[in-house]
Amino acid sequence: MPTPEQRYVLGVAYQAGPDPRIQRGLDGARDYFTAEELEKAAWSFLPGGAQVGLFHGPDDTVGHATVVESYIWRADPWDLGDGVVVRKGDWLIGAILDETAWGLFKSGRVTGWSPQGTARRRPATAASSTSEE
């Protein structure tokens, strides 16, 4: 009898600092978290219920993943070999997917984490934009 699949996935939930590959977003802005801000967000995720939904949909998409790991990467860069490099300060999430989400992952329709939340945009100061890029 075949061993059942673990249905475990691990990925970058959000990277710290600006992505050097992105000069300007589709909305004309360039939003990112500093490592310190991202750590605060990551640390509030588990106590806040660690809810994961699908495709930024309504609340009825929640429950397709059970978060089993959530942490800030603190080691040397880790090249995943697919163009993604995990760096110090990046937030990673590991989860066990249900059958529905696992099928979407295996088919390539679900390829990563995308935090959903609210934020307030503020202009970058000269000091912060030069020290973080």
Please report the pLDDT score of residue 56 as a whole number.
63
pLDDT in tens, 29-43: 667 778 898 899 889
Q: Tens digit of pLDDT for each residue in 95-122?
A: 999 998 899 899 998 877 766 555 666 6
DSSP assignments along the chain, one per residue = -PPPP--EEEEEEE-BS--TT-SS-TTS----B-HHHHHHHHHHHTTTT----STT--GGGTTSEEEEEEEE--SS-EE-SSS-EE-TT-EEEEEEE-HHHHHHHHTTS--S----------PPPHHHHHH--
> What is the per-residue pLDDT across 2-52, written as a single tens digit (0 to 9) for each?
667 899 999 888 888 877 777 776 676 667 778 898 899 889 888 888 777
Structure tokens at 62: 């929640």
**Could you give the CA distance from residue 124 to residue 133 in angstroms, rounded to a whole number?**
11
User: Residue 133's pLDDT band (boundaries 50, 70, 90)?
Assistant: very low
pLDDT of 130 reads: 47
Return the higher-pLDDT residue of 126 and 77: 77
List the one residue out of 106, 101, 118 whose CA is nearest residue 54. 101
At 115 the pLDDT is 67
Residue 71 has pLDDT above 90, yes or no: yes
With 0.85 as the threshold, say if the pTM is over it. no
Nearest of 85, 83, 74, 90 to residue 34 by alpha carbon: 90
